[in-house]
Amino acid sequence: MDNQNKTPEEIYARLLDMVALTQQLWMLDSDDGYVTISIPEGNFLPLWPDEASAAAFAAEGQKPVAHGVGQFFLLCEQLYNEILGFAVSPTKEGITLVTAAALLNDLEDRLGLKDDEPVQE
């Protein structure tokens, strides 16, 4: 997807809409593990709403990998101390950053999850 004429809010809303629809997010994997984006503020894990968008950003040796929502929440717990947040649908032209807490909260709201309800894989 072309993010060139989209605001950060529109890019973020599309990710939330697509996750609600497909129940998955896309990341990039490499021989060294998940691809992160390092900027002066810290390390961010890039996320995309679909395989094509992730593939368009991938460098040689990186491949798109889908994660179900439940698996993604577990992964977030494991990476909590390693990443500052998420880069939502980054492209070669730009990046939209969101904190981990904000994304997880917004996903729970969008998916209608409560603390006492199990997350579907």
pLDDT at 120 over 90: no
Q: What DSSP state is assigned to residue 58? A: P
Residue 2 banded pLDDT, cuts 50, 70, 90 = low
Q: Which residue has the tokens 């809010």?
A: 9
Residue 76 banded pLDDT, cuts 50, 70, 90 = confident
pLDDT at 113 over 60: yes
Averaged over 109-117, what is the pLDDT? 73
Three-state secondary structure string covering 67-108 = EEHHHHHHHHHHHCCCCCEEEECCCCCCCEEEEHHHHHHHHH
8-111 under CATH 3.40.30.10, yes or no: no
pLDDT at 73 over 70: yes
**Residue 75: which residues within 8 A CB-CB, separation 6 or more?**
67
Q: What DSSP state is assigned to residue 84? A: S
Q: How many CB atoms lie within 10 A of CB 112?
A: 8
36 token code pair:
């992160």
26-70 tens-digit pLDDT:
999 999 999 999 888 888 899 999 999 999 999 999 999 999 998
Q: Distance (Å, rounded) from C-alpha 69 to C-alpha 41? A: 26
For position 119, what pLDDT does the model report?
Answer: 53
For position 115, what pLDDT does the model report?
Answer: 59
Strands 33-34 and 85-88: unpaired
